[in-house]
Structure 1
Amino acid sequence: MKLRFPASNGMLAIAMLASTQLSTLFADSPWPQFRGVSGNGIVSDQSIPLQFGETDNVAWKTELPGKAWSSPVIADGVIWVTTAIENMPNEQERIELLKQKAIEAKKFKQVAIAKSISLKLLAVDLDTGKQLHTIELAEINAPDPIHTLNSYASPTPVIDGDHIYCHFGTFGTFCVNRTNRQIIWNRTLPLEHGVGPGSSPFVYRDRLVLIQDGMDRQYVTALDKTSGETVWETDRPELEAPSGEMKKSYCTPIAVTDKQGREQLICMGSQWIVAYAPSDGSEIWKAYHGKGFSVVPRPVYGDGVVYFCTGFGKPMLFAVNVEGSGDVTDTHVLWQVKKGIPAKPSPVLHDGLVYVIDDNGVASCFDAKNGDEVWKQRIGGKYSASPVLVGGHLLIGSHEGKVTLIQPGREGKIVAENEVDGQIMASPAIVNNALILRTDKALYRIEG
């Protein structure tokens, strides 16, 4: 662990607010971060239409510039999304750029690269779909390559009070005032992502928490959200891997308070899941999950147990009790499932059941107590976006633009299948009984 400067004020604030529920941190926003207020994709008090499409139950559709897989976040009647405007090379230029970046020829088809990118924050009116503002954040020349399935703007921003925090991995982190649209501060934390950025930022108390798991270095850091200064940074556990390729990861933190009253930042990574103290970044507990790497799914939590997927390699689903200390691999791992688990979409935990959609279109449901399979069925397509549970239905969007709604429970009945134009890579948002859906081409408001 590496402490950069004293965090006494932050520690005092955390102690005073220890009993506050996480959802109150985002009381001013109906959808402030990746996967909603609680970060788990569950909306209990709203509903959306079962049937919709390009001409059915679409209140408005707004085309968006650039390419980005970041999800929309919403506050005060405004939808905020990040994007990257790419200046793309021709084929000859592309090959030369990849050579300059020391990319192996056998990987040329797997990666994309731009000559330059323009990173932007867009504001869209929630009621009308009118684009209100474009905030220029940064111009990046000769950016690192990314995977062809990724974008230069994949991390989802987070809203906290008057500010919105936009993170683009190694390309920059920005605090923007939502009212006057001015950049308050920005930081550049260089990292070799390997296939581009993916981890979304997370606000906890007075901290902006970033998981920085690159090929070159793996660590978690907390920045002072008002100044952008580093409060603490903690190196990840030692990893056993032949190369940085199997050390990188792209997960987003969650926060829990255990039965002992300990506040935990749970940060999933390659090979290990680790819980850190928000005050100083000290390690509370860790569990080894195997050789999984490039982890994308965000963990979910309930009743003292964290459920998480282990990423690429051989994706598995784990359940770990959070009450331990130190290395809890042999003592607090409750169960694991080795088949039908996603490498990219996050799980949903609801009423004692864990739901997943794997990358190749197989939906599954498991008993949260023991990991037993409840049901499994193929719905087809390719998947990266994380499901949401809204209005008593599990909503799942595919690369092909197909949106499937499944009745949760022990039967797993498909109740509707819908389709929109474009590719769904971003996880959706729900507000005012409306589905805010982002494709690679446009932003939709869908409501009955």
Structure 2
Amino acid sequence: MSHEKRPSLGSGKDSICGNRFLPLSFRKNLGLAHWKLNLRVFLALGLWALVGLPTRADWPEFRGPWGDGHVSAPGDTRPIGLPLHWSETNNLKWKTEIPYRGWSTPVVLGSQVWLTTAREDGHDFFAIGVDAETGGIRFNEKVFHSDNPEPLGNGASMNCYATPSPVIELGRVYVHFGSFGTACLDTRTGQALWKREDLRCRHYRGSSSSLVLFDNLIILTMDGADLQYLVALDKQTGKTVWKTDRSVAWNDENVPGQMAREGDQRKAHSTPLLVTADGKPQLLSAGAKAAYGYDPRTGRELWRVQYPDYSVAPRPLFDHGLAFIITGFDKHELWAVKTDGQGDVTDTHVVWKLTTNVGRYSSPLLVDGLIYTITEEGAVTCLEAATGNVVWKERIGGRYAASPVYADGRLYFFSQQGITTVLKPGRAFESLAANSLADGFMASPAAAGKAFFLRTKTHLYRVEAAQ
């Protein structure tokens, strides 16, 4: 029944999460974040090995609880029960119209789903809270207003004014609209606990980089045409804790003081990824002309690798000491980079490069030592993470901007035409299903419990197999 109303990794060993840094609900607030049982219950049950693990019902940030598109924890092979098939009339629990326009991923915690949206002219910016059980809109809060937003220009075909995804934890949701503002809202009331509107850069064709939560910090990526930096805010107060400028030399001023193409080749759209490298937390961040490893506590740059590309959008991946980075919009190559270097490691730490059939918008997936990347035109490439050797290539049709997810032994790819193609991972191409919803996908999906929360260009869906 539907009712319409007005989204295993390689076996790393650096942490209990499998060679990955413990994201979001792994972060020193065990009694606060994503627990339905308190710590005393865990102690009584002797479940020390599970302390810090998020509940299976959470999708707290862009690309999920691990930041890599995996629904389950690394090594967790228990079936979830997410649907293989759906349509506008099959396995659809509810469908809710979302006002205005937004490409942000929904975030899910318990009975709440939050997402952002904005007027198409960029004057008003909203946070929307939806009841996960009924699909009813519980909050529709105007968070920011701009009198003179810069037009998206030719970026309007792929971007909008509400593309960065929120982050949610118990009692708080953090929303971000690039230089238009960042805010923390109380999820019980919808009211702002703090706001920042003074973090400037010229996004030129709109912002896309999503928020990252680390311990007590909310980390923002501001890769504009004029200014390029990362900044960490105290999540309780919104005050700046550290700020780090990108260090790469641009070498793009044909006339002194005048950037080529209005600084277009200095901007980027990627979201950083938190990992554990050599036993220490590291923030992997892909920008224009270079990718970086940072200390997330201080913002100190640890290493960088340089390339000629810009406007990178996909989020990095990480496994077995390698960062997997798509370099940008123009050449859009996939590089494997060792993360144990210092300074400029371009000539010493690049292990391999894939130079063709790499996606410029969708983030890649890594499952059991194989990476899957999809181009805007729907060409999927499977390659070995250790060597970069291509295993197979197939075209599945459609056009793609949303990032895929992995769950229940399946790869889910979401097209701009509204088709979700489901593939079986492995060394041979195998298609399992193709599902259709109206309006198409720009936003990446979320999953919680046995349900997908899918945002099309106009609606939010809860897709779940009938019980």
Whether TM-score is above 0.5 comes out as yes
Partner amino acid for 2:295?
Answer: A
Helix, strand or coil: the match of 1:423?
coil
1:228-262 Cα deviation digits (max 9, x unpaired): 11111111122233521001001111111212x22
Shift of 1:276: 1.0
Deviation at 1:178, TM superposition (A): 1.0
Q: Of the candidates 187, 191, 203, which is equivalent to residue 178 of structure 1?
A: 187
What's the counterpart of residue 171 of structure 2? 162
For residues 10-409 of structure 1, what are the structure 2 equivalents within 5 Å?
Answer: 21-22=22-23, 23-25=25-27, 27-28=34-35, 30-44=58-72, 45=78, 46-86=80-120, 114=121, 117-146=123-152, 147-148=155-156, 149-188=158-197, 189-237=199-247, 238-242=249-253, 243=260, 244-259=263-278, 261-288=279-306, 290-409=307-426
Query: In the aligned structure 2, how far is the partner of 1:170 from the partner of 1:49?
Result: 38
Aligned-residue sequence identity (percent) comes to: 40
AA paired with 2:98?
L
Give SS of 1:169's match: coil
Please state whether the residue corresponding to 2:123 is helix, strand or coil.
strand
Q: Deviations over 1:125-163 (max 9, x none)?
A: 111111112122122222111122211000000113321
- Per-residue CA deviations over 1:395-415 (Å, capped at 9, x if unaligned) read 001111111000001112111
Question: Secondary structure at 2:138's aligned position in 1?
Answer: strand
Distance between the aligned counterparts of 1:320 and 1:277, measured in 2? 17
Contact 1:80 1:123 in 2 (8 A): yes
Between 1:121-130 and 1:334-343, the stretch displaced more is 121-130
Q: Partners in 2 of 1:440 and 1:281 — Cα distance?
A: 35
Asked if 2 retains the 8 angstrom alpha-carbon contact of 1:308 and 1:347, the reply is no
Distance 1:257 1:245 in 2: 32
Question: How far apart in 2 are the matches of 1:248 and 1:281?
Answer: 19
Q: Is the partner of 1:245 in helix, strand or coil?
A: helix
Contact kept? 1:61, 1:442, Cα under 8 Å: yes
Helix, strand or coil at the partner of 1:264: strand
> Which secondary structure does the structure 2 equivalent of 1:246 belong to?
helix
Distance in 1 (alpha carbons) for counterparts of 2:196 and 2:187: 18
1:269-323 C-alpha deviation (Å, 9 max, x unpaired): 01111111122211111111x2111111000111111111112111100111111
- Provide Cα deviations, 1:185-227, integer angstroms capped at 9, x if missing partner: 1112121011011110111111111111100011111111111
Once residues 141 and 308 of structure 1 are traced to their aligned partners in structure 2, the CA distance between those partners, rounded to angstroms, is 37
Q: Residue 20 and residue 426 in structure 1: after superposition, are their counterparts in 2 closer, same or farther (change >3 A)?
A: closer
Deviates more, 1:228-237 or 1:345-354: 228-237
For 1:212, give the aligned amino acid: M
Structure 2: distance between partners of 1:62 and 1:270:
37
Question: Take 1:48 and 1:278, find their aligned partners in 2: how far apart are those partners?
Answer: 34
Please give the TM-score of this superposition, normalised by the length of structure 1.
Answer: 0.87
Residues 357 and 363, structure 1, Cα contact 8 Å, conserved in 2:
yes
Shift of the alpha carbon at 1:431? 0.7
**How far 1:390 sits from its partner (Å)?**
1.1
Q: How far apart in 2 are the matches of 1:418 and 1:160? A: 31
Matched letter for residue 255 of structure 1: L
- SS of the aligned residue for 2:264 comes to helix
Contact 2:34–2:109 (Cα < 8 Å) also in 1: no
Tell me, yes or no, if the aligned pair for 1:160 and 1:203 is still in contact at 8 Å: no
How far is 1:20 from its partner?
7.9
Q: Alpha-carbon deviation of 1:180?
A: 2.4
Asked if the contact 1:311/1:342 (under 8 Å) is kept, the reply is no
Give the secondary-structure state (helix, strand or coil) at the position aligned to 1:124.
strand
Aligned partner of 1:106 in structure 2 is none
Q: Which consecutive unaligned segments of at least 5 residues does structure 1 have?
A: 1-18, 87-113
The residue type equivalent to 2:391 in the other structure is V
CA distance in 2, matches of 1:212, 1:305: 25
Give per-residue Cα distances to partners, 1:359-415, cap 9 Å, x unaligned: 111011010111000010011111100000011110001111111000001112111
Aligned to 1:13: none
> How far apart in 2 are the matches of 1:38 and 1:49?
21
**Paired residue secondary structure (2:179):** helix
1:277 alignment partner AA: D
Q: Do the aligned residues in 1 keep the contact of 2:109 with 2:170 (CA within 8 Å)?
A: no
Secondary structure of the 1:170 match is: coil
> In the aligned structure 1, how far is the partner of 2:441 from the partner of 2:417?
7
